[in-house]
Every structure is written in C-alpha cells, then in structure tokens.
Structure 1
Amino acid sequence: MTTARVIMSYQWGTANSEKAALSGLPDEVAQVATRELRENKSAREQALQQFRDWINKNQDICRCRTDDNFLLRFLRVKKFSLPMAQQVLLKYINFRQTFSHLVYNLDYLIPSVNELISNGYIYVSPFRDSNGRRVILYNINKFDPHKHNNGDMVKAHMITYEVLIEDEESQVMGFTHVGNICQASAAHATIWSPTEFTTLVRWGEQSMPLRHKEIHLVNVPSAVRYFYDLISAIMSEKMRSRFRLHDSMESLKKRLDPKVLPKELGGSMPMAEMIDLWKKEIAAKRERVLRLDDMKLLSTKSIITRRNNQQNENSSLMIHTLQGSFRRLEVD
C-alpha cells in the first residue's frame, strides 16, 4: 500500500498559504483534475469567467463570493459542467438559508461546538491517505446526546467541511471518512426529528460541493444499524456505493493506511496532537467561513428540483430499508 502523506505545506494563519492555494495545483493533483474532472487551463479560465458573469447578472443572488477558490469547488464537483455547477451554487446558498438555524454562524469558538472538536468527536488527520485525500475522523462516543443538541452536531460537521474545501487540492482529490460508531445508541438518533434529519441529509448531498470518495464505518452496533438503513435509503446510489462497514479496526486497516489514524487506533501521531493541528487550521479559516453568511438567495425560481416520482421512489426505498434490509452497505 502506498504510504500516506503528511500535510507539511500549510503555513497556518499566513497570507502566503492562501496565495499558494490559489496559484495552482501540484503536478500530481493537476493530473487527477485533468483525468477525472476534465480540468485544464483553458477550460478553467473560460468557465470561471462565465460563472462570474452569470453571478453578477443574476438578480436573485446577493453578495456571493466570486473568487476562483470559491467558484472552482462547484465546477470541480460537477466536472466543469457550468450549468450543473450553477445549480449546485444555487442549492448551496438555499440550503444554508433553509437551515440557517443550524449552519449559520459556523464559529468553532462557540463553547459547545469547540468542546466537540476539542474532545475528538470530529477532526481531520494531518496525513493524506494513499490516494492523496484528507481523512475526516468521527468518534460518536465523544458526542453526549444528553449534553449536546443537533445544532452543535451540524455546526461541528459544517465547520469541518467548509474549512476543508477552502483547500484546492482537496477540492480535486476529495475526502475519505472514517467513523467509529462504537457506543452509538438510540439517544443519538432522538436528537433529530425524522423529517428534519432526512431533509438535511438529502439536501446536503445535493448542495455541498464535496467529493466524498470513501466512507468507512467501524464498530456499528447491531441495535442501531436501522439508522444507517435510513441514511443509505435517502442517499444517491453513488453515495451508497461508497459506504463500507467494518466489524473491527483490523478490517479497516486492510483498506486504509493506518498512518492516517491516531496513535490510539494504530497510527503514529496521538489524537490530541492531531486535534491541535486541526484546530490551528480551523482558526486560520475562521473569518473566511463566517463571511459565508453574507450570501443571500432572493428567489428559488431558478433551482431545478427532483420530480415527484423520484421523491416517491426515495420514500418507498426508505420504507423498505427500515424493515431490516442492510444489503446496500458492503461489509468487509
């Protein structure tokens, strides 16, 4: 297995790091962008100019960022299809407005959110995996459902995702997720109403410009697997195909270089050190993330939505999976 690569190029909190991120991609990343995303200098320049012109002329969009870094995340997630990238941008702003009570004011300094990040509920490894992806780590046992609410949970997740997609290399390479679900209980599910949770997940998949490449879940208790049936049911087939269940850490390590994991799970760097590095990265992007709240969508008339028959298919699929089918997730 190719050795994981540590993130050593970041100069957290300096102007030079942002310039470097906007000036271009490393050769190996540029090759992936060309091969997988149809990105090249000409296509990028033309699409960015057309995207920027469209935003400036669109009277429904107010105070939208138009810098290259921001627009490229939408173009890359849709392989430089400008109409599709425009739709994701509209859905992204609408998603944030619709769930403003959850995803506005993404400030890691909010005490309850800072506690979740500091105790390791969600953080990002300083090592890239063998495919050049950042690895997002989750520990459900670090989330106390009797102490924290769904707002704390969503803010911790959204801060993580927004900070990560400020990095252009990650926009291209995508992300690997590793969730340790040990000690998950019904109490974790009860912080959500079924309607809000399913809507948030479904809209989030369509609206957030993230390339989710692998999702590994470890130690999923049999008592709460129905909850993952529900998640699987409301996601697209592409997303469902990227889920992997593991009954042990040894199973996970056959698919993922252990070096990206904290020392407590078989890696080389202690979790506390990984979390400290991640918090420095968040701090460097704090103001940039908070300014996302300035963007507004005055009308949703230009958003192309899924047809009713697709919604009905999703509803039927949810009902079927809640009856106990778990065949859609591959068990390693």
Structure 2
Amino acid sequence: MTTASVLLTVGTTWGSNNDRCDNDEKLGNNACNPAAVAAKELRETPAIREQALRIMREWIQQNPDIKNVRQDDLFLLRFLRHKKFSVPMAQQTLLKYLSLRKYYSNCFTNLDCEDPRLKEILGNGFIAVSPVRDSLGRRVIIYNMAKFDATKYTCWDMVRAYVIIYEALMDDPTDQVFGFVHVGDGSGSSKSHVTVWNPVDFARFIKWGEQSFPMRHKEFQLFNVPAALKYIIDFAATKVSTKMSDRLRLHTTHKGMYKEVDLSCLPVEFGGDIPLQEMVKYTRELLLEKRQTILDLDKMEILSTKGIISSRNSGNSLREGVTSVEGSFRKLEID
C-alpha cells in the first residue's frame, strides 16, 4: 500500500514516502501494511472484526440511551480499533464520545468548514494536516500557535478547529490503524493563549478528551515552547495516562526534533519540504470532502449517561486538577 493510495489526490511538487513504503512491502517489511499492523498491535483479524461489528450494531440497536448513532463499519471501527477490539471498552468510549459532544455542544455541533470563523482560523494555518505520512504510515498534524489570534478568538473557537480536523480524519481506516503524530510550534504564543481558557473547562477537556476521542496518538513533538505555555503543558501531562504523557517530547528548537520526525512530512517553516499554504490547501480539500459527513454527526444523540461506567473518585480527581491549573493561571498573572 502506498501513501498516495490513502491520501486525497492533491497536486504536489514535493517527495513523499511512497517509494519507501513500496520498497518495505517488496522486502517483506510490514511497517506500512495496515492489515499486518492491525493484526499485531490491535489483535484484528477478519473474523474478529466481523464479530465485533455485529455485536456493536446489536448493542446500538437495543440501547434505549442512544439515538441515531451511526452503524457503518468506519464509524464503529474508530472505537473498536482504539480499544483493540475489546467490545465493552469500545462501547464505553462511544458513550463517552456522545456524552462529550452533548456536554460541549457549542464545540462539537454545527462544525462547518464554511463557517466564517472556522474558515479564517484554518485558512491562517493554525492547524493543518500534512499530505505526506511519516515512514511508519502515521498521519502528521501541524500546529502553529502564532497563527491563532487569542485576542480575537475564544478557547471554543480553538477547540472547534481541533475537533473538525479530528472528525475529518477519524473515519480513515489507515489513520485508525497507524495513528497520529502531532507536531507543534509554540513560538508566538503568549499569556493570552493560556488565560483564554477557563480552568475548569481546560481540566475537563484534557481528561475527557483522552477518554472519549478514539484516536491513536503516537507522538507529540513540540518546540519553541515559552514558559507561559509550558505551565499548561506540564499540567496537562499530569492529567492524562502515563502512556500518553510518555509520548510527549519538548524541544528547544525545531532542529532538536529532526531525529524523531520525518522532515518530508513537515512544512518549510518547521524545516521540512512542504509549503505551509499547500498544507492549508490540502486540509481545506479534505474538510470539503468530509463536510456533510461531519455535519451529519449532529443527528446522533445520547439520552441518558447512566450506561457510562465512571472511574472511582473521578469527581475528586477533576477538582484536584482544577485547583492545580488555577494555581498555574494565577502564577502566570503574577509573572
């Protein structure tokens, strides 16, 4: 399987990892073979996949707490692959996903790439999808904090930009298997990028996001992170699982991450090969293709959260998190 076969058709002038993946497959290397990776890392086989999909559909059809939930393979496989085909865990993640969408409906509904505010934020290059996967087949997402005007937009605008991108990618079977690499430039960020957040909501998003969004986050590579932003990153690392926090890498400059990230996937501004505006164009085309699919997600409803199994002392954990992040916010104000 080549990179070109799993990405949208976009006219480009830069090289990709197509040949590398083709050569790997010819040599018997399964690194770029989704079926082989799914079998090894996710315990996925055709028989297990079909059985799990059947059970998920029956559960959805018989569950009075949810309504109009998608039952197509791609949507259900988001959750099954994320939880390595543990059906009960996939069901719980689906319920939490629906609950998160309902609780923060202002961030998760009416996600239209033609919305003026979203269109401007994405057009500025705040977040963009690379048209080139890395050598392991993983999708690379680029973040430019300086491109987000925190004096003009709110934290909800920021979240909506994240969510529309993630929703556009989560149905891609290759992304479901290989996962995502996040590469961010913190230069140009300021205290306003931090204080735009309400501490309670920030704590919830960090904790609930990992539990509710079925994405295989493989790496977080961040560079040029100023002190104001590092306070919040350090806090966020304490609110997610150890596995997730171990995947975070902070670099003083973009050159520090060159040994860990394929340059062919990065924008020129990060030392890579792809003009940022080409990435913005590619992201725009991807969102337009997925526009109606994303808008149709609003039809899904969760009528009751009684089926969600809460972790012990989740309320205490959240309150402790809020206290911690408020302390960081106060320190920023003092500094």
Please classify the TM superposition score into its range, dividing by the shorter chain length: 0.7 to 0.9
Stretch deviating more after TM superposition (31-40 or 107-116): 107-116
Tell me the distance in 1 between the aligned counterparts of 2:32 and 2:294. Answer: 28
Read off the aligned partner of 1:301 and give its amino acid letter.
K
Which of 39, 47, 51 lines up with 1:46 in the alignment? 51
Which of 223, 237, 240 lines up with 1:235 in the alignment? 240
Matching of residues 1-332 of structure 1 within 5 Å = 6-7=3-4, 9-11=6-8, 28-308=33-313, 311-312=315-316
Structure 2 length normalisation: TM-score? Answer: 0.87
Tell me the distance in 2 between the aligned counterparts of 1:229 and 1:318. Answer: 14
Tell me the distance in 2 between the aligned counterparts of 1:12 and 1:290. Answer: 23
Q: Deviations over 1:97-156 (max 9, x none)?
A: 000011111111111111111111000100101211010000000011111112211111
Tell me the distance in 2 between the aligned counterparts of 1:109 and 1:7. Answer: 27
Going from structure 1 to structure 2, the CA distance change for 1:315 and 1:130 (only over 3 Å counts) comes to: farther
Going from structure 1 to structure 2, the CA distance change for 1:196 and 1:319 (only over 3 Å counts) comes to: closer
Tell me the distance in 2 between the aligned counterparts of 1:257 and 1:282. Answer: 24
Stretch deviating more after TM superposition (198-207 or 220-229): 220-229
Mapped contact 1:230–1:322 kept (Cα < 8 A): no
Deviation at 1:88, TM superposition (A): 0.4
Identical aligned pairs, as a percentage?
A: 45
Deviation at 1:226, TM superposition (A): 1.1
Read off the aligned partner of 1:118 and give its amino acid letter.
G
Tell me the distance in 2 between the aligned counterparts of 1:35 and 1:29. Answer: 10
Deviation at 1:319, TM superposition (A): 6.1
Structure 1 length normalisation: TM-score? Answer: 0.87
- Count of aligned pairs between the two proteins: 307
Deviation at 1:29, TM superposition (A): 0.8
Q: Deviations over 1:195-236 (max 9, x none)?
A: 011112211110000000000111101243211122112212
Going from structure 1 to structure 2, the CA distance change for 1:148 and 1:267 (only over 3 Å counts) comes to: same
Mapped contact 1:149–1:191 kept (Cα < 8 A): yes
Query: Mind listing any 5+ residue stretches in structure 2 that lack a counterpart?
Result: 11-30, 329-335
Aligned-residue CA RMSD in angstroms? 2.1
Tell me the distance in 1 between the aligned counterparts of 2:183 and 2:293. Answer: 26
SS in 1 for 2:197: coil
Deviation at 1:27, TM superposition (A): 7.5
Deviation at 1:316, TM superposition (A): 5.1
Going from structure 1 to structure 2, the CA distance change for 1:174 and 1:27 (only over 3 Å counts) comes to: closer
Q: Deviations over 1:156-194 (max 9, x none)?
A: 100110111121000010000001011211101121110
Mapped contact 1:108–1:156 kept (Cα < 8 A): no
Going from structure 1 to structure 2, the CA distance change for 1:91 and 1:54 (only over 3 Å counts) comes to: same
Deviation at 1:313, TM superposition (A): 5.2
Mapped contact 1:217–1:244 kept (Cα < 8 A): yes
Deviation at 1:90, TM superposition (A): 0.5
Going from structure 1 to structure 2, the CA distance change for 1:208 and 1:32 (only over 3 Å counts) comes to: same
SS in 1 for 2:59: helix
